[in-house]
Each structure stands twice: as C-alpha cells, then as structure tokens.
Amino acid sequence: MKRLFAILIVLLLLSVSVPVLTSAAPAKYDPADGYHQYIKWIGAARKAAQERYPKAALVDLLYVGCKAEWPAPKRFVYKFWMQENDREFGVYVTVDEAASPDRARASRIEKTDAILLSYGHWSRYANEAVQAEYPGAEIVGWRPFGCACLGKEASSQVFRFWFRQGGRSQVMRVTVSYNPATNKALGVKFEPIRSFSE
C-alpha cells in the first residue's frame, strides 16, 4: 500500500507542468546592445541634473534616445522630471559617451516641458513607417533602442515597437537611417523580434 501511494505521488508530481525556459526568455545583459547602452550613462546624467538643480527632488526619468554623428561620440539624452517647492518641471540632459562612465560629462542641460525635436522627429517617422507597412495595426507602445553612426553621411535611430494586428501581437525592431547633415530619411528597416497570439 505504501508503495502504491508513493507511485501515485510521483506520478502526480510528474503530471504538474513546469515552466520551461525557451528562446522567449529575456536575453542576458549585454552592454553593447541598443537597449542597455543607455544604462551606463544614467549616473552622469543624474549627477548633472542634481548639480544644476540642487534643491529639486528627482521624481522620474525617461530615456529619450541617442544620437550618433561622425566623428562625434554618441550622445545619450534623458528627461528627468523634477520637483522643487511644489513645482514640477522637466530637464533634458545630454551625456556624451566616454571611455568610462566616470569620464562622461553632460554636454547640454535644458529645462523644458517640450520634446526635443530631433528625437521626436525620428520616433514619429518610425511610427508612420510602421503604420504604412502594417495598415490597420494598433501600436501598443514603443521605445528608443539605440543609435549608430553609419559613416559621414548616415546615422540611424533604432526603436522597438509593439503592435497588434489581426489577433496577433508583434514586437518589431525598426531602424530609421538618415543623413544627419540634411536631416533626410534614407530608409527604414523592419526586423521581427517576436510574434504571438493574443
């Protein structure tokens, strides 16, 4: 009887489904990928904002994007939401990439509540390109995902979009290439990352 009971318990344990990690699991931290590049420079941006507005408390922050133009280093832009004396305001901080986070410096600090036009321009362009490529798609969200200098006459902004279409959700990497001198688009590349049924 004990043996039968033990076998039933083993069978019961084996019948319980155990989640298995698949390729859908998040990738390991890679400081060179577009998403994790900005993490290195948050400290320099936060320090610059707090030095400029020492009496203000940091309420929230947003990674706005990056810009890469030849021969300058990459520039990472953050928006901090700050509060001072019951007044809230936005502060954009631009940090120039350096050999190490300790050597990074803020090249620009702007107190504003408006979106920075160059970053907003390419995110709107990417949004319109997704809608043109996938008519009727409902864009659920997007975020900046990196940038690159492709040469003297070309740079790129990379975004990750999540949208729904025809009962499926898709996560798509959208790369907008442009000429930084003329600010004209050169092309858009769509790379599916993941697709799943709802």
Query: Residue 152: enclosing H or E segment and its boundaries?
Result: none
Mean pLDDT within 77-81: 87
Measured in degrees and rounded to the nearest 5, phi and psi for residue 39 equal: -60, -35
Give the dihedral sign, CA 113/143/70/97. positive
| DSSP helix/strand/coil, 158 | strand
Residue type for 27, please? Answer: A
Q: Using one digit for the tens of pLDDT, what is the confidence trace for 37-74?
A: 677 788 888 999 999 999 998 888 888 878 887 777 78
Confidence check: pLDDT of 121 > 70: yes
pLDDT at 21: 35
- Whether the CB-CB separation of 95 and 45 falls below 8 Å is answered with yes
How far, in Å, CA of 182 to CA of 104, rounded? 28
As for how many domains the chain has, the answer is 2
* Chain mean pLDDT for the chain: 79
The CATH number of whichever domain residue 83 belongs to comes to 3.10.450.630
Judge if 172 and 127 occupy the same domain: yes
Domain region containing 45: 34-111
The CATH number of whichever domain residue 175 belongs to comes to 3.10.450
Where does residue 92 rank: exposed (0-12), middle (13-18), buried (19+ CB within 10 A)? Answer: buried
Q: Tell me the sheet residues that pair with 188.
A: 176
Judge if 106 and 125 occupy the same domain: no
pTM over 0.75: no
Encode burial over 104-130: b for 16+ CB neighbours within 10 A, e otherwise. bebeebeeeeeebebbebbbebbbebb
